[in-house]
Amino acid sequence: MLGRVAPAATQVTAVVNLQQNRNMATLKSISIRLKSVKNIQKITQSMKMVSAAKYTRAERDLKAARPYGEGAALFYERAEVAPPEDEKKQLYIAMTSDRGLCGAVHTGVSKVIRNRLSEPGAENIKVICVGDKSRAILQRLYGKHIICVANEIGRLPPTFTDAAKIASAILTSGYEFGFGKIIFNKFRSVVSYEQSDLPLFSQQSVQSAPKLATYDSLDSDVIQSYMEFSLASMLFYALKEGACSEQSARMTAMDNASKNAGEMIDKLTLTFNRTRQAVITRELIEIISGAAALE
């Protein structure tokens, strides 16, 4: 008996809900929505301000770090170091960070790596993810290519110590790679950045470089220390470029978000006013028709 009553009750409430939904949203739900969008706009505005401040600092640091990175890569260009033709074991380093809400910064870098890994002959390519975002993107399909992840990137501006830690992790990872690439976002301007790469060579490639003989008084110790230091320098440079691109992308993204939130607020305010007027009109009609019925 009780069981038969319950479905009937739910059927009645369902009919009532349908009637309520037919009145658009109620005033209360529109005003709740309006308040939450206004809060979101405040949050995205403040995130934009914070990113703008971090961006000015990152750009200043980048200006100081640019000669560093270019100088570190210059030797390999001048000595015409090239990887051996049939190089199988490669290492890709993805420079991203831990924090999101910064546009297509992390997906850009991960896409470059993903495209390379989906080509044939990618079994011996290993990936080191600097920053949790690239790990999250690459883990699903290419989890077995990832050998190392660095996190706590993005909170503070990068220092040479961070780059040195990553460099020592690469060298102690035990993966003997013949050729490597650091994939990072190169900062072009406040509104544009592009994916770029820096090449990494193994000691063997350097020692078989055609122009190495022109360099005087070298032994393998010097070459090894030199390569370790230039690895750290290039990582430092890539970290700085990546940080600057990330902050500028976050600034743009948050600015767009605030603009979109502003548009939503305008539209919601209009519907709120329309709904309010409709409610008042309905009440007036009920009163007047009620009064007219009494006469």
Partner 1 sequence: MAMALRNMLRSASRRLQVRNYADAPKEGDLALTFAAGNKVFYDKQVVKQIDVPSFSGSFGILPKHVPTLAVLRPGVVTVVENDGKQNKIFVSSGTITVNDDSSVQVLAEEAHPLENLDRSAAQEALSKAQSELSSAANDKAKAEAAIAVEVAEEIVKAAATA
Q: What residues make contact with partner 1 under the rule CB under 8 A? A: 61, 63-65, 67-68, 70-72, 74-75, 78, 159-160, 211, 214-218, 222-223, 225-226, 229-230, 233, 236
Of 75 and 272, CB closest to partner 1 = 75
For residue 98, give the DSSP letter. Answer: S
In angstroms, give the least distance from the CB of 68 to partner 1. 4
Of 35 and 78, CB closest to partner 1 = 78
Residue 284 tokens read as: 């007036």
In angstroms, give the least distance from the CB of 241 to partner 1. 14
**Are residues 25 and 275 in contact, defined by beta-carbon separation less than 8 angstroms?**
yes
Of 68 and 272, CB closest to partner 1 = 68
**Are residues 205 and 178 in contact, defined by beta-carbon separation less than 8 angstroms?**
yes
In angstroms, give the least distance from the CB of 75 to partner 1. 5
150-158 LR contacts (CB < 8 Å, sep 24+): 151/98, 152/98, 153/96, 153/97, 153/98, 153/239, 154/97, 154/98, 154/99, 154/243, 154/246, 155/98, 155/99, 157/54, 157/57, 157/58, 157/61, 157/243, 158/236, 158/239, 158/240, 158/243
Of 167 and 251, CB closest to partner 1 = 167
Of 86 and 219, CB closest to partner 1 = 219
Of 75 and 175, CB closest to partner 1 = 75
In angstroms, give the least distance from the CB of 226 to partner 1. 5
Of 224 and 289, CB closest to partner 1 = 224
In angstroms, give the least distance from the CB of 217 to partner 1. 6
Residue 196 tokens read as: 């770029």
DSSP 2-60: HHHHHHHHHHHHHHHHHHHHTT-S-HHHHHHHHHHHHHHHHHHHHHHHHHHHHHHHHHH
In angstroms, give the least distance from the CB of 57 to partner 1. 12
Name the helix (H) or strand (E) containing 105: helix 105-118
- List the Cα angle 92/193/52 in 5-degree steps: 115
Cα separation of 290 and 286, whole Å? 6
In angstroms, give the least distance from the CB of 151 to partner 1. 22
Strand, helix or coil for residue 186: strand
Of 179 and 236, CB closest to partner 1 = 236
Residue type at position 233? S
In angstroms, give the least distance from the CB of 198 to partner 1. 14
Nearest of 66, 153, 138 to residue 102 by alpha carbon: 153
